[in-house]
Structure 1
Amino acid sequence: MGIKIIHTTCHTQFGGLEKRIFNEACWMAEKGHEIIIVAPRNTPLHDKSKKKGFLTHDAAFKRTSLAKDFFSLRALFKKFRPHILNTHGNEDSKIALSAAMGMGIPLRILSRHISAHVRKSYSNTLLYNRLCDYVFTTADYTTRHLIQTLGIPKERIQTLSSGIIPPKGLIEKNPARERLAGEFALDPATRFVGFVGRVSHDKGVDLILRAFHRVAGQISHHLAVVGTGTNEYLKTLKTLAKDLDMESRVHFTGFREEVWPYYRALDCKMLASRDINGIPFEGIPQSVLEAMYARCPVIGSMSGGIPDIIRHGDTGLLFRADDEVDLSEKLLQTLAEGAESHDRVEKAFRMVNGHHTIDAMGHKILAVYRNFIADQEPVFHTPREG
């Protein structure tokens, strides 16, 4: 029996959260299940889902549209009769899970994609313990926090990191390096370290620039920043590169749809995610899993879910969050340790290939679905609207 699944999100970009929704939806659709994506109109996820052939439903998930979204979702639930409702953002979770009350949906899931703390309050306790049936997180840190803070029973919450979609093939490393060098009109023999992902302050890209500057005199590498962010933050980074007199060795690609060749071109991928006000926000970063699959050495900060996958000295190296000195030392160590770095790369690849692919994730999700719905059809009531 095909399972009817509705995903909702209030987010408007196309980062790790939106990629997870889209990739999971594609995998489920290939298995014969029905998908509806509920997202703000004219956002990347909405448009990609529509192009893919998924049913899409517009919802702004803003305060000004709260009532409209609430009642349009109730109408959607009544018409589509889903087995599964999975919410993914703060605002859409509040609205969609509230709208689902009394609608007979067998399984309502709230996915928490970041490690930022959830405040203990009546509304959060209601959201996580009453309005949803099950919680997915992307990191063990988050799972432990929600259990301790909100008292979620362990049988109703599961860490489920986003599974990557392995590419059909990977470019060889030398051609990848030469291609990247060509993008910036550099010598084909130029070597690179860098960052791939959403370019933002919370990802610590400015810290990466400063750490690179500390060791630039000891290595010949250039720094590649692959991805995009706000105009304000990109301007800050470019100003920083100029102030550090590093403009000729720091390069920005802008947004790239296909990132696999960039991982292959890098001799090290760094992720310097920060704690915000002492609280981690990072779940399991897909960019690190992708780099590992591409056999690119990785360095990550000791924040949120990063240590779940970067086991220090085993699958990569960790540094103290917001410590540019420590990061610079780990960068030098990664580039200097040929055999040791290669061993870490191979262990990381085997870990991702065995446990963090879209297939591994999809089968775990289906197991949860089937445990709850047990072939039952949704039973819809005709609730009184007010």
Structure 2
Amino acid sequence: MKVLQVTPFFKPLWESGGVARVAYDISRNLHENGHDITVYTTNRSIYPNNLPTNRATSVDGMNVYYFENLRKYTRGMTLPVMPYRMPAVARREIAAFDLVHIHDHRTMLTVIASHYARKYGVPYVLQAHGALPQDTGSKRMKRLFDQFWSDKVILGAAGVIALNETEAERYRELGVADEKIAVVPNGIDLAEYPSLPARGRFRAAWGIDAATKVVLYLGRLDPTKGIDLLIRSFAVVAREFDDAVLVLVGGDMGHNGEFRQRVESLGLDDRVIFTGFVSKEEKMAAYTDADVFVTPSFTGFPVTFLEACLCGAPIVTTGKGDLLGWIDNTVGFNTGYTPEALADTIGRLLADETLRARFGEQGKELVRTRYNWKAIVHNIETFYAKVAGGAEGSFPVGLSKEAAPKAPDTF
């Protein structure tokens, strides 16, 4: 099958977040399974890079267009990603694809790709990656985008992928027919982790001794992730566990000043470590050395949860945003979105080494058997075949039974 993947960011722009990683893993596994893969993406422009722009280049055997982002010429203004050369290429090429898979629905790449897919009668699959709600991030920009484009983009899809049942229900509320929805989780490529760092490497690098308990957050340091709540929760934990530290691993998204002020106001200067953005090797070392991995709020299906499981770190999260039921009492706990509830659950794990070890082993097994990309991409291929009018056959559990007709092109 000739498939176009459309994603705002792609390899090697890992600092842009989880969508880039997931889009790459899906694309690469499809390519390895014999599909002809092309990727439309951007060069991001926020961070300097030497990526070839506005022309096809080979990345791991796939044709990738890094469209130059017009936003680089409007510094100081908050504008969406604007791949100004993409329409000319899309107009010329999209008709030749069997299917288009669009990642992240509120981008100009989505608008352009979905328009030409509808124009040429090419079915497209939409995967919002947990971004359907309007009440996170730039709310004004999201509402403005939704007013003009979201209904057309979402309802015009031949099929949609939800990362969990919470997101599937959001699609239904927006008017997507149940038979067009596939619930497909994110995964992890075990081949990329042939060996894990030895325990103690991350601690040594940051001056943390072996007896100290490490509470780890890893991801974007963004208010929507509940970082402020985590810091306030840790203030409660720190009173009970004088040998515990909170480590915040992730790049500054413009709010670190606020977070540092909160740390200082709570008297936690010597108990909270900000590492900034770290390499993949350092990231895995952080998971390996963590006693508890905490993400207070999320949408979709963060790959960080799977990486934590792979390294044996028990998880604490909440139902704020989305909810992943498989976590609770198997690899960690879902708890309430309050400082007290979060602190109590973190403390329960820090105090029980046996429980941490059990959750750690169960997490490793779950990743090996259920959440690996080989199995997940097989389900995606089955969904593609249905959406593109392929052979009849049974769907894996959680996938739609048949593709609905495309909406008319009214762009």
TM-score (norm 1): 0.82
Q: Who is 1:157 aligned against?
A: 181
Q: Name the CA distance, whole Å, in 1 between partners of 2:81 and 2:277.
A: 31
Cα distance change of structure 1 residues 63 and 318 upon mapping to structure 2, 3 Å threshold: closer
Contact 2:203 2:289 in 1 (8 A): no
User: How many residues end up aligned between the 2 structures?
Assistant: 356
Q: Who is 1:382 aligned against?
A: none
Q: Name the CA distance, whole Å, in 2 between partners of 1:324 and 1:264.
A: 25
Q: Name the CA distance, whole Å, in 2 between partners of 1:35 and 1:64.
A: 22
Cα distance change of structure 1 residues 188 and 331 upon mapping to structure 2, 3 Å threshold: closer
Which residue identity is paired with 1:88?
H
Q: Name the CA distance, whole Å, in 2 between partners of 1:42 and 1:63.
A: 11
Among 372, 381, 385, the alignment partner of 1:366 is: 381
Report the CA distance between 1:68 and its aligned residue. Answer: 5.1
Which residue identity is paired with 1:285?
P
Q: Who is 1:341 aligned against?
A: 356
Among 133, 141, 148, the alignment partner of 1:117 is: 133
Q: Who is 2:309 aligned against?
A: 292
Cα distance change of structure 1 residues 292 and 64 upon mapping to structure 2, 3 Å threshold: closer
Q: Who is 1:168 aligned against?
A: 194
Which residue identity is paired with 2:289?
A
Q: Who is 1:242 aligned against?
A: 264
Q: Secondary structure at the match of 2:287?
A: helix
- The reply on whether 1:199 has 2:221 as its aligned counterpart is yes
- The reply on whether 1:354 has 2:366 as its aligned counterpart is no
Matches within 5 A, 1:117-156: 117=133, 124-129=150-155, 131-147=156-172, 149-156=173-180
Q: Deviations over 1:265-310 (max 9, x none)?
A: 000000011xxxxxxx611121112212221110001123333332
Q: Name the CA distance, whole Å, in 2 between partners of 1:338 and 1:20.
A: 33
Q: Name the CA distance, whole Å, in 1 between partners of 2:81 and 2:245.
A: 47
Gapped regions of structure 1 (runs ≥ 5): 274-280, 377-385
Among 3, 6, 10, the alignment partner of 2:4 is: 6
Cα distance change of structure 1 residues 355 and 121 upon mapping to structure 2, 3 Å threshold: farther
Q: Name the CA distance, whole Å, in 2 between partners of 1:64 and 1:239.
A: 31
Contact 1:289 1:352 in 2 (8 A): yes
Q: Name the CA distance, whole Å, in 2 between partners of 1:214 and 1:40.
A: 43
Contact 1:284 1:308 in 2 (8 A): no
Among 98, 121, 134, the alignment partner of 2:115 is: 98
Q: Name the CA distance, whole Å, in 2 between partners of 1:187 and 1:348.
A: 25
Q: Secondary structure at the match of 2:262?
A: helix
Report the CA distance between 1:7 and its aligned residue. Answer: 1.4
Contact 1:284 1:309 in 2 (8 A): no
Q: Deviations over 1:18-55 (max 9, x none)?
A: 11001111212222222222112256899598554532
Which residue identity is paired with 1:146?
Y
Gapped regions of structure 2 (runs ≥ 5): 71-78, 135-142, 392-410
Which residue identity is paired with 1:338?
E
Q: Name the CA distance, whole Å, in 1 between partners of 2:152 and 2:228.
A: 39
Contact 2:68 2:84 in 1 (8 A): no
Contact 2:291 2:356 in 1 (8 A): no
Which residue identity is paired with 1:137?
A
Cα distance change of structure 1 residues 361 and 229 upon mapping to structure 2, 3 Å threshold: farther
Q: Deviations over 1:183-214 (max 9, x none)?
A: 22343543311111122111112221221111
Contact 2:158 2:387 in 1 (8 A): no
Matches within 5 A, 1:176-191: 176=199, 178-191=200-213
Q: Name the CA distance, whole Å, in 1 between partners of 2:32 and 2:22.
A: 15
Report the CA distance between 1:64 and its aligned residue. Answer: 9.7
Which residue identity is paired with 2:291?
D
Q: Deviations over 1:147-203 (max 9, x none)?
A: 1x23322221111111112211223xxx42x22222223435433111111221111
Q: Who is 2:74 aligned against?
A: none
Report the CA distance between 1:326 and its aligned residue. Answer: 0.8
Which residue identity is paired with 1:207?
L
Q: Name the CA distance, whole Å, in 2 between partners of 1:160 and 1:329.
A: 32
Q: Who is 1:306 aligned against?
A: 323
Contact 2:25 2:373 in 1 (8 A): yes
Report the CA distance between 1:133 and its aligned residue. Answer: 0.6
Cα distance change of structure 1 residues 63 and 114 upon mapping to structure 2, 3 Å threshold: closer
Q: Secondary structure at the match of 1:217?
A: helix
TM-score (norm 2): 0.78
**Sequence identity percentage:** 21
Among 40, 46, 67, the alignment partner of 1:38 is: 40
Q: Name the CA distance, whole Å, in 1 between partners of 2:272 and 2:382.
A: 46
Among 236, 239, 242, the alignment partner of 1:214 is: 236
Q: Secondary structure at the match of 1:216?
A: helix
